[in-house]
Amino acid sequence: MSKRVLTTLLGVGLLVVGTNRPAYATAFDFNAPALAVNGTAANVQTYMNGLLGAGQSVVVTTDGGAGNQIVTNSYNGEGHVVGPGGVSVTLGTTDGGVGHGGANDNFLYTFGGTYIQMIFSGLTVSSISFDYEIFPDNTCSVGSCSAGFPDFLFNTQVGNGPWTNQLTALGAFPVNQDSPVTMPVGSGGGYETSAQLGPQTYSVNLGPGVTGIRFVDWPPTIGVDNVCINCPGPHTPVPEPGSLALLGTGLFALARGFRKKS
């Protein structure tokens, strides 16, 4: 299998308080339909910075090199990702682990690297949710996994401090790997036995001051999709205090109207 690929499906739908913008705290929904397949970290950074508010920016990097392509919609572990009828189930075909039908989504992947990193300025990351996947490493199969199971790490950073691991997930051998119904291999014939982990969703509230996030793989490819920053739950932006106050004012006026009619 090819070297590590980090997939971070990116499509920033940034919601910020401002003129002609919804009244939400800074939030992203990474789904990247506007990003070209085979885009680089620089392309992703330019796209994100174009959506950030005044005084806000991000630096996106990967250790795969400046020309490393990190946007795809079709990667499936060289045909080793499992799925019914031989059709791989990936971040490109699902949202929150549920198939969305239609064309595949774009997602980020660091082919030839081990991580994708985002360092923000002008905002902090108080919470995050995302979909992720551990793509198979065909050197780790049933009966032979000397290199260790493939894994996924999510790290955060406060200022210039050390990186703190928030999540460790491990791939495993596919369930019913010998079943011809659920696990036909996408290439090479036979039935899939390579360790992997299909699309999952993760959400966490973080401590104060987080400005850096990093998605790390070892040894094979991982993927991230539908990243939502500063959301109370997956893909749900947090209203700004001003918005809540406005809602309260509206409810108060509505209550007064009812009292006058009674």
What length does the chain have?
262
Helix (H) or strand (E) holding 165: strand 163-170
The pLDDT score that the predictor gives to residue 140 is 83
Contact 27, 227 (CB under 8 A): no
Residues 73-87: tens digit of each pLDDT: 999 988 888 887 778
What pTM, to 2 d.p., does this model score? 0.77
Mean of pLDDT values over 223-233? 80
Residue 113 backbone phi and psi in degrees, to 5: -125, -175
Q: What three-state secondary structure class fits 249?
A: helix
- Percent share of the chain, pLDDT over 90: 30
Residues 161-216: tens digit of each pLDDT: 999 999 999 998 887 666 544 455 554 556 788 889 999 999 999 989 999 999 99
